[in-house]
Amino acid sequence: MIISWIAIFILALSYWFQIWKIHLHKEVRDLSIPYHVLLALGFGMLTYQAYLDDSTIFLVKQILTTLPVIVIIGQILYHRKDKWHDDKDRFCCCDHEIEPDWIRCPYCECDCIEKGKDHEKEREDSLR
């Protein structure tokens, strides 16, 4: 029985780590709202079933995993327009931030990144 309680704690903790990561970075662009809504609905239905079955351990597990998923949904909705900035990222000629592992700009589809052009100096000069 102790293994089940440990597993419940680990599952719930994993969701709270995601919540903390979102809180720190305010970055939710890689998270899917439909996925989390379906997850919350499924967990909610299983919570109700656990209540009907009078299963304490299953009820606790469902509550401890449903609540953080609902919090994540709230974070996605709240931070959906926020943009996390990394000082190490470069900028393309179209003035959008480029991730370090990108080889083409997803905004303007230019190949200035592939050609090795560095627009950082031009951008810094224009901001002065």
The tens digit of pLDDT for each residue in 101-112 reads 777 787 787 766
Query: Among candidates 80, 85, 99, 104, which has minimal Cα distance to 30?
Result: 80
d(CA 84, CA 30): 12
Could you give the residue range(s) of every CATH 1.20.1280.290 domain in the chain?
2-79
Least confident of 11-20, 27-36, 71-80: 27-36
d(CA 58, CA 71): 20
Confidence of residue 45 (pLDDT cuts 50, 70, 90): very high
The number of helices, as runs of H, and strands, as runs of E, in the chain is 4, 2
pLDDT score recorded for residue 97: 79
Residue range 2-79 forms a domain whose CATH class is mainly alpha
Mean pLDDT of the chain: 83
Query: What distance separates the 2 farthest-apart alpha carbons in the chain?
Result: 67
